[in-house]
Every structure is written in C-alpha cells, then in structure tokens.
Chain A
Amino acid sequence: MGCACIDARSTRTRQFLKVNEILQRFDRDPRRLIAILQAVQDEYRYLPQPVLNYLATSLGIPRARVYGVATFYAHFSLEPKGKYIIRICDGTACHVNNSQALLDLVRDKLGIHEQKPTSEDMLFTLERVSCIGACGLAPVAVVDDRVYGQLGVQKLGEVLEQMVRAEKGVGT
C-alpha cells in the first residue's frame, strides 16, 4: 500500500522493525496513538511519512487520523530536525525581557528563518516555544536539553560558538 517507497529502500525493513517494537510496546492500541508517535519521534527525531502510513495500517485506523494527530501537536515534526535543538522561550516573561533579541541572534548566526528552522548542515533546529515554565529566570533558552537562564545575547552567542567548534573538532 502507501507504506512503501520514498528513500527507505535498504533500511526499510530495519526501520519498520523498530516501529513494530514500538507498536508492540503499546499493545497496538489506537488510543495510545500519541504515545506511539512520541516513541517514533524519539527514535527518528521526526515522523517519516512512510512510518505514518505504516502506523495507520497496523493500527487499523485511517491515515487521515494519524496525519491529523501528527500535525495537530506542536511537538511532532514531519521534517527532519537538526542534531541539536535550540528552544528559545517566548513566554510572556521572556518576551517582555527581550527574547526577540535571542531569536534574532540565532537566526542570524545560523542563517535560518521561521519557514526554514533547521540549519543547512542539519546541526541545529531553532524552535520558538511558549513558556517552559522557568519564568523566574527570563529570558530562557534550552539548548540540547540544557536550560540556560537570565540569558544575554552575548552568552547565547558563546554557547552556540562553543557547540559549533566542538562539532567541527569532532568532524576532523
């Protein structure tokens, strides 16, 4: 059916093995669709189209429902994400403490914008999130799951540069 093709070819069997494991873990229960999608995204860092189709067939629900849920929730991404995710909080407290400057800085440095949140080298994805609940430390950013509070443009710039440098060091 629609669950074949795209770029999968040789890895396809292996990919679906993982998906099968996940499905097994959640008893192939369509009511656990969100948890299943979360597990899939943890595995692939995004939700590949062929996997979504495969899930629909396996769970016995329309593809439209899987796609509907996958596009409804902000946490899910149908596009591959970068290796590191930079989440800049734009909740009220961060917003009034100029989180916009942090967003501008990251976009500027990585050459990305709202429509294209992932950098060319697939290293970074920028997400503007609404409130991560650390308002006491506004403005806040979460870089690679580490929370940085009371963050200035300069400090964030340093963090980014350090990561880029470390990444390049690894590459050579």
Chain B
Amino acid sequence: MTTTVNLDQIAREVNQRLARPTWRVMVCDGTGCVASGSRLVHRRFLDLTEGLDGLAEVQLAAGDLCRPLVSRTGCHGLCQMGPLVVIPGDGDGREEIFYCRVTADDVPEIVETTFKAGRPVERLLYRDPSTGTAYRSSRVIPFYANQTRLALADCGHAEPEDIEEYVARGGYASLRRAVTELKPEQVCEELTASGLRGRGGAGFPTGRKWLATLRATGSPKYLVCNGDEGDPGAFMDRSLMEGDPHRVLEGAIIAAYASGAAYGYFYIRTEYQLALARMRKAIADARRLGIVGPNLFGSSYAFDCEVVEGAGAFVCGEETALLASIEGERGMPRPKPPFPAESGLFGLPTVVNNVETLATVRWIIEHGAAAFRRYGTPRSPGTKTFALTGKIRNTGLIEVPLGTTLRQIVFEIGGGVPDGRKFKAAQIGGPSGGCLGVEHLDMPLDYETLGQVGAMVGSGGIVILDDSTCIVEVARFFMQFTQHESCGKCVLCREGTRQMLWILQDIVEGRAVPGDIELLEQTARAVKVASLCGLGKSAPNPVLSTLAMFRSEYLAHVERLYCPAGVCSALKTFAIDPDLCKGCTLCLQKCPVGAIQGEKRAPHRIDVALCTKCGVCATVCRFKAIAAR
C-alpha cells in the first residue's frame, strides 16, 4: 500500500450502492442459525430474488460488492427462534420486518407477500410466547426493546465479512482519529476516564492496563486478544467475532497503539471454527486496505497481527496460561507478579484484553468517555453482554447496562421460565461464578454487588435454573468441569477439586455421611486460598454459593436420601399409582431387571428391592401412572 486508505470514499460508495435497492434481506449466519438451516434459506433467497424489481441491482453491482443486498449477518441473539431473517426498514417510514424460524420453503411466500405486495408474512413474525402478540420489528420485541446494544450495535445488522460495509457504518474512523490525532497516552486517558473494566471476568480497568504496558520497558510489546471463551454457557465473544469481527479488530489496533504494541495475537478456541475464519478474513481484508500494516493512515505507527488457534484447554482463558500456550508450551498459569504488562509474552510487555472489552473500545473513542458513563453504575460503567440460557423462554445473546437487575433480565428480556415452572436460581459467571436465588432478583448486576454475594460477572454466562433442576447436581456438574480442566500445577486445585467432586458424587448418589457437607466446605475454602490462578481460586464458588443459599437441599440429600427436585436417580423410588395404572403390561415388558409384577388389566407393582431406578417404566407408561419420588 503506497497511498493511505480513504475511508470516506469507501463509505460514500457503499452507501450509494445500498441506497438504490428498495429491499434488503439479512439472513442470520451465526452458529445458532446455521445449525437451524439458515444457509439453505440464504441460498433460496439468492435464487428467488434474481432479477426481481427493487432487488435488481444484485445483478448489476460488481463482484463481491453485490452481496450486501442479500446478506448474511452475524448473530441476532435470539438463536432459539432461528433461522432469523430481517428485512430492514427503508428509513422513510417503512418499518423493519423481523421473521423467525424461516425455512427455505417460506422464502417464496416472503418474496411474493413482502417484496411484491409490501406486506409482512404474519405467521413468520415473532410472537410473544406467553401472550401470543405478534411483533413486526425487533425494535418492539420485548427481548430487544429492553436491551442497550453498544458492543453488539451492528451485530446482525451488517455483513460481517464485508470490510467496506463496516467502513460505511463508521468503522475504522475511530482508529484513524486515534493514530492521527491522539497520543497513546491520550487514548489511555480516555479509556481510564470511561471507566471501562475488563469484560473477561476480573474487571480490571482497561485504561490502566494499557498505560502500564505503555510505560513498561522492553521491546517489542505485544497485544493479545483473549478469545478463548471456555465457560460453559457463554457465547458472547463467539458472537462478536462472528458477527462483527472488524469491530474487535479495530478495538485491538487502538489498544495496541495506546499500549505501544506493534504486534498482536488473536487467541481463539478451536471449537469456534466460524469465528476463526471470520477473524482471519477480517485481518486479511484490513491488511489489503492498509489498515493493518506499516504507516497506518499516514502515521508512523505500524501494526500487524495473526490468529492463533487454541487446542482445547479451559485454563488457557487465564491470561498467563494463554501466553504460555502462544509460546508453544503447556498452558499452565504463571505466578503474578510480574504482570503481563511488565513481563508477558516471550518475557516482554504484553497487554491482554478480552474480545468484548476490545469490541467496546470503538464506541468509547467514537462517543467519548462521558457518553459511556451515562450507562451502567458509577463503579461499573457501560454495558455488558450476557448469554442467557437454560430454562428460560427467550434464550440468546443480550446486552444491558451494568446494574440492570436480574429480574429485568429474566422476566422482561428472557420472558420468564417456561412450562409453568418456577424460577429457582440463576447461575452466573460459569464454573467460576455462583448462584443467585429468588432473593437476589432485585439486586443490580455489577462487579461489586456480585462479588459481595460470592458470584461474579465472569465472562457473562447466565444459566437459568427452574424448580426441576437439582442444585446439588448442578454444583457437581461444575465441579466435574473444573476438576477436569485443572492444569495440575497447584496441589490444592488438583487434589482439592477431586476431593470435592468425590464428596458431591457421594451426595447425589446417596452415599454421603453426616459431616460430608462440612468437609466439602472446608476443602472449598482451602482450594480458594491456596490456588495460584483464577481457575482454582474461583472453582469452589459454585459450591460455596449454592451451599449458602440452598443448604437445605444438600441436607435433604445427605440426611433423608431425598432429592427435592427429583433429579438424582440414585435417590429416587419409583412407584405405580394403582388408580392410574390400566394394567397394559408395557412397563413389565420393558423393565430390564424384571422388577415389575402384575396381571393384565390389573394395577402393577414395582419391587423396590429389585428396581435399579433406571426410569424406563416411567418413560414408556402412556397413562403417566409411574412417577419417581
């Protein structure tokens, strides 16, 4: 590149192209919608809109650039209702149309009704699961209406693989301003003033981290983008990298400039193949335009970067372990200090930021620190994305100001718990986080308040549990996860998590003895104190927080060999209700151990001594006569 890229010219050209056609179709191409078949829908749209009036320009525009008209976009967040198809408004009175669960067979109807007759296809509109009301656009759907999307602003509204469209939506202008008008110190100051805290879990102020790296001695300095999102139940970073990779890249280059780094690594877990591909393409496209490379925007600043694929180790989400992994070593954490800002990758000053943190940077440079502080709480400013999953009506990716209450998230955005069940708890922050119960529904979610109750924002996974979920079993599940992922460096983490897992297994399988709960608590505290990294320090959180809140449920398992949620199969007793049993003999035939006796057309009985509690009888019974207690 000899000449500097002209962002304004690209933006003008793209906007001209986009202004011509009447209609635009955006088919979600996030992992969720692809799994539900969105690629077929997209294909069908391309076929059926060929030569169509209003979309005719599809054929006229040159090469790559015609794609924005029938586009594939990043994740819209409402994955469960996918494949999603959005037909944006024309900015001239016509409102956006938001279609859910679109199949390839629905495409002809959309073309006929919407493009030709100008009406929405009613049956494909989003309907509120509880009231049945239909909503036309995402602006009014409660799931979206109660969100504030800063990092996710363009996720789902633009073609993620098209750098030109990103530029047309104001992209890379913040980077240009940073490298041409601001000194690195000034960028750090702006970030410090915004109060942005690391979105990966620990919540360290981003501006201070950059400044520390900038002031550290050693050269070259490195920037590392932590995309090793391993928490089960979290997919915010995946969605950002898939849905708006250039926003992540722009944030990363600004971060690198501000902290004096000239080279960057994007460490992305191998399970995220689509995110890996999109980030690689984003970097290649940016390099083509001279946005990655020497003399950015005519300045003396040079930056280059590459994508590093993880190899499947949860502990690599911990920054020092991640650095070890980039160096080609086993991903084991190193003691801090020295912090990566002083001695990181290859012993040189390194700034490590999470994907979401970097995706927020552009907004802050664009709108200023003061505007950012208008969202969130004084000590936790801004917005945070959460992955809302589990037993909830609307699962998906959301972004809300920090300080939003759990009640707003669960009931206003999430639409409450389905199937007439009751909200029991929200597990927040994955295997490092804790459980919040009914009493925490009105607690504002931010770094401080969550820390006080033994939970953490973590990376932002929220899994809703209803009253059919056994809390002890969930604690066992997380313990199994952390035990398996413990790298083995610290004795207390390696052996302590194993002991804790064994105790929890004893509890759910009915072998626990009095005193086990106390032992579990003691071990948990020891692991928390004596582990080196965040994985070990936070591994006991799910156990400690559920013990604090649902101790009676643990006691029921230990003392009465009873699982209140009816989940733990070893503690179940199966019985046949003689009033409902029709004597069809089906359960008798299916029982693998011959524990069921009875004559045809007479109520059957289960021999408790023989029963192995496999539950086959309850599944096959057509009269719902068999239940576990």
**A and B physically associate:** yes
Q: Which A residues contact B (CB, under 8 angstroms)? A: 30-35, 37-38, 65, 68-69, 72-76, 90-93, 95-97, 129-138, 140, 145-150
Query: A72-B330, A137-B80 are known contacts. Are A92 and B32 too (CB-CB below 8 A)?
Result: no
CB under 8 Å from chain A, chain B span 428-452: 430
- Asked if B507 lies at the interface with its beta carbon under 8 angstroms from chain A, I say no
Asked if A72 and B389 sit within 8 Å, CB to CB, the answer is no
- How far is B198's CA from A31's CA once the two chains are assembled, in angstroms? 28
Tell me the nearest residue of chain A to B469, going by C-beta. Answer: A96
Asked if A137 and B233 sit within 8 Å, CB to CB, the answer is no
Asked if A131 and B233 sit within 8 Å, CB to CB, the answer is yes
Asked if A93 and B389 sit within 8 Å, CB to CB, the answer is yes
Residues of chain B with a CB closer than 8 A to A38's CB: 270, 309, 311
Asked if A31 and B395 sit within 8 Å, CB to CB, the answer is no
Residue from A30, A72, A95, A136 in contact with B80 in the complex, judged by beta carbons closer than 8 Å: A136
- How far is B462's CA from A96's CA once the two chains are assembled, in angstroms? 13
Task: Produce 1/0 per residue, B56-89, CB < 8 A to A.
Answer: 0000000000000000000000111010000000
Asked if B32 and A137 sit within 8 Å, CB to CB, the answer is yes
- Asked if B557 lies at the interface with its beta carbon under 8 angstroms from chain A, I say no
Residue from A35, A68, A72, A134 in contact with B32 in the complex, judged by beta carbons closer than 8 Å: A134
Residue from B82, B328, B427 in contact with A31 in the complex, judged by beta carbons closer than 8 Å: B328
CB under 8 Å from chain A, chain B span 113-163: none
A–B pairs, 17, beta carbons within 8 Å: A34-B328, A65-B329, A69-B329, A72-B331, A92-B233, A92-B474, A93-B389, A93-B390, A95-B474, A96-B474, A133-B238, A133-B271, A133-B272, A135-B461, A137-B32, A138-B395, A149-B79
Asked if A92 and B313 sit within 8 Å, CB to CB, the answer is no
Asked if A134 and B235 sit within 8 Å, CB to CB, the answer is yes
Residues of chain B with a CB closer than 8 A to A147's CB: 31, 34-35
Asked if A35 and B331 sit within 8 Å, CB to CB, the answer is no
Query: A34-B328, A93-B389, A95-B477 are known contacts. Are A148 and B235 too (CB-CB below 8 A)?
Result: no
Residues of chain A with a CB closer than 8 A to B7's CB: none
Residues of chain B with a CB closer than 8 A to A134's CB: 31-32, 35, 79, 235
- How far is B611's CA from A108's CA once the two chains are assembled, in angstroms? 20
Asked if A75 and B477 sit within 8 Å, CB to CB, the answer is no
Name the interface size band of chain B. Answer: 35 or more
Closest chain-A Cβ to B245's Cβ sits at a distance in Å of 15
Tell me the nearest residue of chain B to A94, going by C-beta. Answer: B232
Residue from the set B82, B309, B329 with the largest chain A CB neighbour count within 10 Å: B329
Closest chain-A Cβ to B101's Cβ sits at a distance in Å of 11
- How far is B465's CA from A97's CA once the two chains are assembled, in angstroms? 10
Task: Produce 1/0 per residue, B477-493, CB < 8 A to A.
Answer: 11001000101000000
Asked if B389 and A76 sit within 8 Å, CB to CB, the answer is no
Query: A73-B313, A75-B270 are known contacts. Are A133 and B328 too (CB-CB below 8 A)?
Result: no
Tell me the nearest residue of chain A to B470, going by C-beta. Answer: A96
Residues of chain A with a CB closer than 8 A to B325's CB: 34
- How far is B313's CA from A72's CA once the two chains are assembled, in angstroms? 8
- Asked if B397 lies at the interface with its beta carbon under 8 angstroms from chain A, I say yes
- Asked if B494 lies at the interface with its beta carbon under 8 angstroms from chain A, I say no
